[in-house]
Chains A and B, each alone.
Chain A
Amino acid sequence: MPQTLAEKLISMHARSDVRAGELTVVKVDFAYMQDWTGPLTVDKIYELGGPLAKDPSHAAVFIDHASPSSFKEVSTGHIKLRDYAGKSGCRLFDIGEGVSHLVLGEKVTSPGMLMVGADSHTCQGGALGAFSTGMGSTDVAVAISSGETWMMCPEATRVEVTGKLPDGVYAKDVILYLIGLIGADGATYQSLEFIGDTIDGLSIPGRVTLTSMAVEAGAKCGLCQSDAHTMDWLKENNREADYRDIKHEPGAKYVRVVNIDATKLVPMVSFPHTVDNTRPITHPDCKDVPIQQAYLGSTTNGYYEDMEAAARVLKGRHVAPGTRLVITPGTKKVYRRMMETGLFGIFLDAGGVINSPGCGACPGSHAGILGDGENCVASINRNFKGRMGNPNSFVYLASPALVAASAVEGKLADPRRYA
């Protein structure tokens, strides 16, 4: 029987083949926590009273959400994480290493793996053909301590995207369009499986953008098959031996098929305060929306390719008076490359400020919190009320290019004018 990617990947880690809707215990290849969910995860690991880590080489602790720390209480939580990492032998990625999922994308995540993380955007591991899903602190504590978890094999929605993306239109626009179409709960409990020649044409950072936002439609995972782009990415990160074929199977059973013609897409914006509240940039609502802060970064658009797309718009230009530009590279590797290739210069000349690698202002605790009544256009993944630290502010989601164009014009702007 042909399997969906989710069925295939979960079956590879279960005692027998499973189909959508079945419950199973699975072996977890890698489990991790970050500094907002980690202290509670560590408490639960101690409470369980079992091993501190079943296999410490398959677990990690990330300090990325407040990096460097913004409050004394957070700093004390960091001490607990460092102490746990020392005792358990789990790998510690301390401040400045970058966003957990992006760092793992460079160093660990591989086709065929099953991963869980105490962070909802863990689902972006699917960009590399891994079954990867976000869970709470207790579930991840159990996965780290015992090396396994239980789950229901999800039903799958097939998202078939075909045709060439127009200039100035990106993976971010595809996923915002999709979420606007199916809704913030349009794929709850499901696997979103991306297929089609548009997906085949995307490099791994583009697929990361798609799969990281699977959770914004309620999905358990977002999955892409592995292919030459996957191999290129692994080679670029000196781990081509981690490649294996994980392919879509013709005849697999999907509960829903969504077809998207990429050639017809335009740049998209999610309006406050829900991700599915989308408009094409050509919509009248997008006219004359003033922007006080333009924000580049996050686990959804934090790789070099994302920064490069913004830099192409900003090169030789300056942000509008009254608008500030904040840039947070996703990982140390991205940060270093931006420095070496001249992106730092472009951003600084444009009037931008560059944060240390990590989650930055996206989750709302530091490094770019908004003031009362302010609007921010951001290449992040969520625009819930209060998301960027202030319930009296407004977050608009878009691609890095649209963020950059908006910074230049001081209001929501169409990046195709700069393509």
Chain B
Amino acid sequence: MSGRAWKFGDDISTDLIAAGRYAYLRTNLPELTKHVLEDARDDFRTGVKPGDFVVGGRNFGLGSSREHAPTIIKMAGTSCVAAKSFARIFFRNCINIGLPAVRVDTDKIDEGDLLELDLNGGVLKNLTKGIDLKFPPMPKVMTDILEAGGLVPYLKKNKGFIL
């Protein structure tokens, strides 16, 4: 998976990702996706290309439990969210819907850098700068959920949690 970096700052809340004023679109995810991250930077939703990366700072995804937030980031075609740190519920939601979320030093990524994710190798490669950004390994249950494509397919396959 490779694509270009879209840079965002610290504390990107779920309100910035999937605004409350669009709550009426939560039963219409393709329409809601048209407003993804609108209040953080308005050029993302129209400019994002398949495979692109959302790159944040600290505490990405803080706020509400709305799974719509990572869901519409994924539906916009992105391959991964990278951030210095994540809010807990958002991070877990990413894994549950099969969207890789990795913790790396995003100061080493600039807007538009070409990135490639090697999930099993635990490395986000910044191809533009020629550097490898390592991320801490996730618990096995999380990589298993991610590899299955999300929690629902994982449970259909395993009939329960394997820790």
Question: Chain A residues in contact with chain B, CB under 8 A?
Answer: 23-25, 36-37, 39-40, 44, 47-49, 65-66, 70-74, 76-77, 80, 117-120, 122, 134-139, 142, 146, 148-150, 152, 184-185, 188-189, 215, 218, 220, 274, 363-365, 369, 382, 384-391
Contact mask for chain B residues 118-129; partner A; CB cutoff 8 A; 1 contact, 0 none: 000000000000
Contact mask for chain B residues 1-35; partner A; CB cutoff 8 A; 1 contact, 0 none: 00000000001010110011101111110000000
Residue contact A185 to B66, C-beta cutoff 8 Å: no
Task: Decide yes or no: A135 and B65 within 8 Å by CB, A73-B28, A77-B26, A184-B59 being known contacts.
Answer: yes
Interface centre among A36, A119, A384 (most CB of B within 10 A): A384
Residue contact B21 to A389, C-beta cutoff 8 Å: yes
Residue contact A150 to B85, C-beta cutoff 8 Å: no
Residue contact B21 to A365, C-beta cutoff 8 Å: yes
Find residues 36-95 in chain B having any chain A CB closer than 8 Å to their own CB.
39, 58-59, 62-68, 71, 85, 87-89, 92-93
> What chain B residues lie within 8 Å of A66 (beta carbons)?
23
> What chain A residues lie within 8 Å of B25 (beta carbons)?
73
Residue contact B20 to A365, C-beta cutoff 8 Å: yes
The answer, among A71, A74, A122, A218, for a CB contact under 8 Å with B62, is A218
> What chain A residues lie within 8 Å of B131 (beta carbons)?
none
> What chain A residues lie within 8 Å of B19 (beta carbons)?
364, 386, 391
Residue contact A185 to B151, C-beta cutoff 8 Å: no
> What chain B residues lie within 8 Å of A185 (beta carbons)?
58-59, 62, 85, 87
The answer, among A25, A188, A384, A385, for a CB contact under 8 Å with B88, is A188
Residue contact A390 to B21, C-beta cutoff 8 Å: yes
> What chain A residues lie within 8 Å of B62 (beta carbons)?
184-185, 218
**Closest Cβ–Cβ distance, residue B156 to chain A (whole Å):** 7
> What chain B residues lie within 8 Å of A384 (beta carbons)?
13, 15-16, 63
- Name the 9 nearest CB pairs between A and B, nearest first: A364-B20, A71-B24, A136-B67, A136-B93, A185-B59, A384-B13, A73-B24, A384-B15, A138-B96
> What chain A residues lie within 8 Å of B92 (beta carbons)?
135-136, 139
Task: Decide yes or no: A134 and B156 within 8 Å by CB, A37-B65, A73-B28, A386-B39 being known contacts.
Answer: no
Residue contact B67 to A138, C-beta cutoff 8 Å: yes
The total of chain B residues at the interface (CB under 8 A) is: 42
> What chain B residues lie within 8 Å of A122 (beta carbons)?
65
The answer, among B11, B23, B88, B156, for a CB contact under 8 Å with A363, is B23
Residue contact B88 to A365, C-beta cutoff 8 Å: no
**Closest Cβ–Cβ distance, residue B56 to chain A (whole Å):** 12
Task: Decide yes or no: A386 and B163 within 8 Å by CB, A134-B89, A138-B151 being known contacts.
Answer: no
Task: Decide yes or no: A24 and B163 within 8 Å by CB, A37-B67, A138-B96, A386-B16 being known contacts.
Answer: yes
Task: Decide yes or no: A48 and B152 within 8 Å by CB, A65-B23, A138-B97, A389-B21 being known contacts.
Answer: yes
Task: Decide yes or no: A139 and B15 within 8 Å by CB, A23-B141, A66-B23, A185-B87 being known contacts.
Answer: no
Interface centre among A71, A150, A390 (most CB of B within 10 A): A150
Task: Decide yes or no: A382 and B59 within 8 Å by CB, A139-B96, A142-B151 being known contacts.
Answer: no
- For A274, give the chain B residue with the smallest CB separation: B11
Residue contact A387 to B27, C-beta cutoff 8 Å: no
> What chain B residues lie within 8 Å of A139 (beta carbons)?
92-93, 96, 151
Residue contact A138 to B89, C-beta cutoff 8 Å: no
A192 CA / B5 CA spacing, docked (Å): 35
- For B21, give the chain A residue with the smallest CB separation: A389
A218 CA / B65 CA spacing, docked (Å): 12
Task: Decide yes or no: A387 and B89 within 8 Å by CB, A25-B163, A37-B65 being known contacts.
Answer: no
A40 CA / B87 CA spacing, docked (Å): 21
A146 CA / B152 CA spacing, docked (Å): 12
The answer, among A39, A48, A189, for a CB contact under 8 Å with B26, is A39
> What chain B residues lie within 8 Å of A138 (beta carbons)?
67, 93, 96-97, 150-152
- For A26, give the chain B residue with the smallest CB separation: B161
The answer to the question of B130 belonging to the interface, with a C-beta cut-off of 8 Å to chain A, is no
**Closest Cβ–Cβ distance, residue A360 to chain B (whole Å):** 12
Residue contact A382 to B63, C-beta cutoff 8 Å: yes
Residue contact B59 to A218, C-beta cutoff 8 Å: yes
> What chain B residues lie within 8 Å of A44 (beta carbons)?
152
Task: Decide yes or no: A385 and B39 within 8 Å by CB, A44-B152, A184-B11, A185-B59 being known contacts.
Answer: yes
Residue contact B21 to A386, C-beta cutoff 8 Å: yes
The answer to the question of B136 belonging to the interface, with a C-beta cut-off of 8 Å to chain A, is no
A390 CA / B39 CA spacing, docked (Å): 10
A390 CA / B24 CA spacing, docked (Å): 15
> What chain A residues lie within 8 Å of B39 (beta carbons)?
385-386, 391
Supplied contacts A139-B92, A365-B24, A382-B15, 11 more A-B pairs, CB within 8 Å: A36-B66, A48-B155, A73-B25, A74-B24, A77-B27, A146-B160, A188-B59, A215-B89, A274-B11, A384-B16, A385-B16
> What chain A residues lie within 8 Å of B152 (beta carbons)?
44, 47-48, 138
The answer, among B23, B58, B63, B96, for a CB contact under 8 Å with A136, is B96
A77 CA / B156 CA spacing, docked (Å): 26
> What chain A residues lie within 8 Å of B59 (beta carbons)?
184-185, 188, 218
> What chain A residues lie within 8 Å of B21 (beta carbons)?
364-365, 369, 386, 389-390
> What chain B residues lie within 8 Å of A134 (beta carbons)?
65, 89
Residue contact A150 to B26, C-beta cutoff 8 Å: no
Q: Enumerate 5 A-B pairs (CB-CB under 8 Å) in ascending A order.
A: A136-B89, A185-B85, A382-B63, A384-B15, A387-B20
**Closest Cβ–Cβ distance, residue B51 to chain A (whole Å):** 24
